[in-house]
A = this chain, B = another copy of it.
Amino acid sequence: MGKEKIKNILFTVAYNGANYSGWQRQGNSVGVQEIIEDAIFNAIGQKVEIFGSGRTDAGVHAVGQTFNTLLFFEKVNKLPLAINCYLPNDIRIMSAKTVPNDFHARYSAHSKTYIYNLCISQIESPFDYQTCEYIKYDLDIKAMQKGASFLVGKHNFKAFCSANTTVTDFEREIYSFSVIKIGGKIKFEVCGSGFLYNMVRIMVGTLVDVGRGKIRAEEILDIIKSQNRQNAGKTMPARGLCLKCVKY
């Protein structure tokens, strides 16, 4: 190990969050971060802290979560297979690459993209009930697409942030927000500079209210202006949410 230089390594990781407390440990329930740190130790004998692009909540999934950490390791491209040997089936390292020393998975991020999966059906499928939220009534897609367009841009998103937060700056920028229907499934895909606590789940809950006709698409603007969480829709369940990618 003496002649190897320490490297800052950026990893991408996919996980089914159904069985975890989220990225971080919560009380007695284990977090994805801790499991990965243990797997790195078991694979290459180095005890490290890993730095995620952000936390995901209990039950939330990822196909492209990122984290960085400092390691002594020559063949970086061998790391995913080596670490995966010590991970449970529902967490997989997908890639690893060396990045500059000042790179940080959270602070260097330019944008994040989340998907929310919704299925319109009376009966939940035994194959996707962990990764899809179910709704029994049909939704007006055009109205939701219009509603989503009002969320795009730089706004104060305090109305779309869980009251349970310590953040004081509520300004974020949404770069794009698409709503598409394929068969009985509706996929929300939102890309932004960053997101407040529960922001994606509250935005989708508000769009579902638009889709049901409880509020008009234009009212989204009033909700943004109000900066009042009470005016937005409910926080959608965790299982439908998935962190798609983090761009640098």
A interface, CB within 8 angstroms of B = 14-16, 61, 63, 80-81, 84, 89-94, 122-127, 129-131
Contact = CB atoms under 8 A, between A and B. Distances in A.
A123 B93 CA distance: 8
Identical subunits present: 2
13 contacts: A14-B126, A15-B126, A16-B126, A61-B127, A81-B122, A84-B123, A90-B126, A91-B126, A92-B123, A92-B124, A93-B123, A94-B123, A127-B131
Instruction: In the A-B complex, list the 9 residue pairs whose CB atoms are closest, starting with the nearest.
Output: A90-B126, A16-B126, A89-B129, A92-B126, A15-B126, A14-B126, A92-B123, A16-B127, A91-B126
Nearest to A84: B123
Contacts of A91: 126
Nearest to A90: B126
Contacts of A94: 123
Query: Which among A80, A91, A122, A123 has the highest number of chain B CB atoms within 10 Å?
Result: A123
Nearest to A122: B81
A16 B126 CA distance: 6
Contacts of A131: 127
A42 to B, nearest CB: 18
A184 to B, nearest CB: 13
Nearest to A123: B92
A140 to B, nearest CB: 25
A124 B93 CA distance: 10
A94 B15 CA distance: 29
A131 B14 CA distance: 17
Contacts of A124: 89, 92
Nearest to A14: B126
Query: Which among A81, A94, A126, A129 has the highest number of chain B CB atoms within 10 Å?
Result: A126
Contacts of A14: 125-127
Contacts of A89: 124, 126, 129-130
Contacts of A80: 123
